[in-house]
Structure formats: C-alpha cells, structure tokens
C-alpha cells in the first residue's frame, strides 16, 4: 500500500478533513473534528493508525505482525498498521472503513445528519 492512495481513500469519506500534527509529524484525517486516521511514520516505516473496537484491535495484533498498538493513542482502541508490510490493500480499505464508521457512530445525530451519511 502506498501513502498517497491510502490518503486519497481516507479523504474520499464524506466530511473528511486533513490537518497536520507538527509535534508528531503526522497527518490527521478527521470527520466532524474527530480523528479516524493518522498517517506518518512509526519506527522509520510508513504507517497509518486507525480506530477499532478493543476486541478487534487485539485480534488483529495477534494475527498480523504488521499491526501494533498505536504509539501516541489509546492502545485499547487504536492500531498502527505498517504500509510496507504483507497486508493486502483490501485489508487497509476495510480498516479505514471500520474506523470511519466507529467515529461516525460516536457523533451526535445532528452532526451525522449534517454529513448526509
């Protein structure tokens, strides 16, 4: 997976906005001011951090060596996925979709309606 294709996919989500977090040298992708993805480098490798349920987070880490707890985020809910690993592209898209949906579910109804999703 490459950074630009994954960033393009994240930004295709309704209401997605990108901002820089200079202290961590990452791009944050948010919907309604709530982050659902963070792209940058982890341990010198290109990576994306995505939100998941705690159960899924653990399961993914056990099955895939390219998925680890996120360094700067709540490790129960956030996984970092290395882009240069062995995961198929479809898995990245699925994880982005899951993260986006989790964030949407946590938004107040009025904000979800404003996004028309």
pLDDT of 22 reads 78
Show the domains of the chain with their CATH numbers. 1-113 (3.90.1150.30)
Among residues 40, 44, 97, which one has the least CA distance to residue 72?
40
**pLDDT, tens digit (0-9, with 9 covering 90-100), for 27-52:** 999 999 999 999 999 999 999 999 99
Average pLDDT across the chain, whole number? 93
**pLDDT, tens digit (0-9, with 9 covering 90-100), for 84-97:** 999 999 999 999 99
Top-confidence residue, 24 or 73: 73
Residue 74: pLDDT band by 50, 70, 90 thresholds?
very high
Is the dihedral angle over the CA atoms 60, 62, 63, 68 positive or is it negative? positive
Q: Which two tokens stand for residue 59?
A: 């399961």
């Amino acid at each position: 997976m490459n950074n630009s294709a994954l960033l393009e996919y994240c930004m295709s989500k309704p209401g997605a906005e990108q901002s820089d977090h200079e202290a961590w040298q990452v791009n944050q992708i948010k919907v309604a001011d709530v982050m659902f993805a963070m792209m940058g480098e982890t341990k010198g490798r290109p990576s994306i951090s995505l939100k998941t349920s705690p159960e899924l987070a653990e399961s993914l880490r056990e099955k895939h060596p390219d998925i680890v707890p996120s360094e700067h985020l709540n490790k129960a809910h956030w996984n970092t996925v290395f882009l240069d690993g062995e995961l198929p592209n479809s898995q990245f898209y699925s994880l982005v979709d899951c993260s986006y949906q989790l964030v949407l579910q946590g938004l107040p109804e009025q904000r979800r309606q404003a996004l028309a999703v």
